[in-house]
Structure formats: structure tokens, C-alpha cells
């Protein structure tokens, strides 16, 4: 995969911290990912995910009103768009 081909993928970032959400979106755009959606909560992520086919989903492990693992399970159970589920990457600031 080249940097040019990254411009064709769609990424969903789920992060409740405004600074980190902006940072992740900016970093993705810096490597030519043009289609980035950002959600600040699990509920918003589910709304967006139900209507757009993503190629990658990046989820904060600890999000407001829930947690990343629960959100992943809800995405997997409620996948309304045909085709394979997008790969999901989980982030955590905890060590």
C-alpha cells in the first residue's frame, strides 16, 4: 500500500478526548487519509458506523459512557452494512 492509496480508505476515529481526537485525525490526514470521521462517544460511533462503510476503525479503550471493548462488541453484533467488518484498532493511554 502506498501513501497515494491511503487517500482512498475511510477511517472512523472514536475518542472522547478532544485533543486526542483532533491529533489522530490530523495525523491520519498527514499521511493522505482524506476520509476520516470522528466520534466523541460510543453512541455517535454506532450512528456513523451504521451508515458508512469504513476500512478501519480506531477506538479508545476508555471512552465516556462505556468502554471500547463494549463498543467493539456492539459494532460486531449490529453491523448493518454488507461485507466484512472493518479491522478495529484499540488505543489506550494506560500502561
- Burial pattern 40-58, b for ≥16 Cβ within 10 A else e, equals bbbebbbebbeeeebebbb
pLDDT beyond 90 at 14: yes
pTM of the model: 0.85
pLDDT at 77: 79
Instruction: Count Cβ atoms within 10 A of the Cβ of residue 92 and give its class: 0-12 exposed, 13-18 middle, 19 or more buried.
Output: exposed
Element (H, E) at 38: strand 35-39
Give the model confidence (pLDDT) of 29-84 as tens digits. 999 998 999 999 988 998 888 888 899 999 999 887 778 888 888 888 776 556 66
CA–CA separation, 76 vs 66, rounded Å?
Answer: 16
CA–CA separation, 50 vs 22, rounded Å?
Answer: 22
Amino acid at each position: 500500500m502506498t501513501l497515494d492509496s491511503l487517500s482512498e480508505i475511510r477511517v472512523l476515529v472514536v475518542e472522547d478526548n478532544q485533543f486526542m481526537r483532533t491529533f489522530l485525525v490530523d495525523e491520519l490526514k498527514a499521511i493522505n487519509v482524506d476520509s476520516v470521521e470522528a466520534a466523541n462517544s460510543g453512541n455517535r460511533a454506532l450512528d456513523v458506523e451504521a451508515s458508512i462503510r469504513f476500512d478501519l476503525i480506531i477506538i479508545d479503550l476508555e471512552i465516556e459512557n462505556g468502554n471500547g471493548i463494549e463498543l467493539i462488541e456492539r459494532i460486531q453484533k449490529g453491523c448493518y452494512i454488507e461485507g466484512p467488518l472493518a479491522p478495529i484498532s484499540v488505543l489506550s493511554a494506560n500502561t
